[in-house]
Each structure stands twice: as C-alpha cells, then as structure tokens.
Amino acid sequence: MGKWREIGNTTVAAMHIVLVRPTKILIIDRAEKNRAMYSDGRYAYSSEYDLTTGRSRTLNLKTNTFCSAGSFFGNGTLINSGGAENISGAQAGFQSVRLFNLCDDGSCDWLDFPSYLEIARWYNTMVTLPDGRVFNIGGSIKATGANDNLANNPTLSGSCTSTRRNP
C-alpha cells in the first residue's frame, strides 16, 4: 500500500481541482475559512498551486463557488458557473459566470461576472462541445435539501460563439 505523506500546502481546501498548465493546478473551495486571505480581510477560496515549486498563489473571486460547475472552452479558457448563497463576504454565485485565461507567468486571475446567467444554477453540469462551445445544464434555482418541481431547473444554456482553436 505504500505510505502517504504531506508534500505541499494549497492554502485553500480543494473542493474542485483542475489541471490548468502541465505543472499547475487550480483549486476552488466554497467561500469559507481557508488559510489564504484576500487583502480586504475576507477568507480566500481559490488558489493556483505549482506542482514543481510547491508554491501556491491566491486567486480572487467575488461570488460563492459552492455547488458550481466548470469546463474548458475550445480556446483553452476555463469557464466556471453557478454556485450558492452569499456567505463569508462572498456575493451569491447562483447566476455567476467566471472565466480564467490560462497563463504560465502567474499573471492570470479570475474574471467573475456575478449576474451573467439569466437563470440561477445550483449543482449544474457543464460540458465542452466538439466545436469549442460550452453547454451548461440543469441544477436547481436555489439551494435545497431535497429537490422538487419548484426548485428543479431542467434547462440548458450555451455559449453563443464557437471558440475552437484549430477549426
């Protein structure tokens, strides 16, 4: 079975992890008490961790990413959307769309558009289409212990432009 040992510290708990560069992972938590903090005194809930240097870089979000979903556009930009209620100084994330353009030099950060979706999504699903657009499907219109026909959101949204890098 081998042994597990601690080899790094992402400073933000990893609710979601995605590989954004060959040696970098992007981490998202819900808005809650992580070690990393923003300059305005809020607890941070996203970071980028470098697997070779073991260093993490705090990333800036405005809206709560709990229960959100993500996928990549065909041009490589990461898109994350949906989320949950306003907590810990974060705005509500239900209608948020967040973009992260990949970079190697530590200059990239989230662009967070809090009310971009026309309808709230909590626990949605996102998938990249063959032409590089992204499909955003389902979820509920509010945080709910048990789903029902009032909260259920059986709709889908799509990005409007094709973003395939090599048509």
Ligand X SMILES: *[C@@H]1O[C@H](CO)[C@@H](O)[C@H](O)[C@H]1NC(C)=O
Q: Which residues bind ligand X (CB under 6 A)?
A: 9, 11, 35, 73, 75, 77, 86, 99, 101, 159, 161, 163
Question: Smallest distance, Å, CB 58 to ligand X?
Answer: 9
- Which element (helix H / strand E) includes 26? strand 24-28
CB closer to ligand X out of 1 and 150: 150
Task: Please state, in angstroms and rounded to a whole number, the distance separating the CA atoms of residues 120 and 84.
Answer: 9
Question: Smallest distance, Å, CB 28 to ligand X?
Answer: 17
Q: What DSSP letter does each residue of 49-106 carry, written as one string?
A: EETTT--EEE---SB--TT-EEEE-TTS-EEEE------TTPBP-TT-EEEE---SSS
Structure tokens at 142: 């509010």
Backbone torsion region of residue 163, taken as left when φ is above 0, otherwise alpha when ψ lies between -120 and 50, otherwise beta: alpha
CB closer to ligand X out of 1 and 161: 161
Question: Smallest distance, Å, CB 99 to ligand X?
Answer: 6
Question: Smallest distance, Å, CB 163 to ligand X?
Answer: 4
Distances (CA, A) of 163 to 69, 78, 102: 19, 12, 15
By Cβ distance, which residue is nearest to ligand X? Answer: 9
CB closer to ligand X out of 1 and 27: 27
CB closer to ligand X out of 52 and 154: 52
Task: Give 60's contacts (C-beta < 8 A, 6+ positions apart).
Answer: 38, 44, 46, 109, 110, 112
Question: Smallest distance, Å, CB 86 to ligand X?
Answer: 4
CB closer to ligand X out of 9 and 115: 9
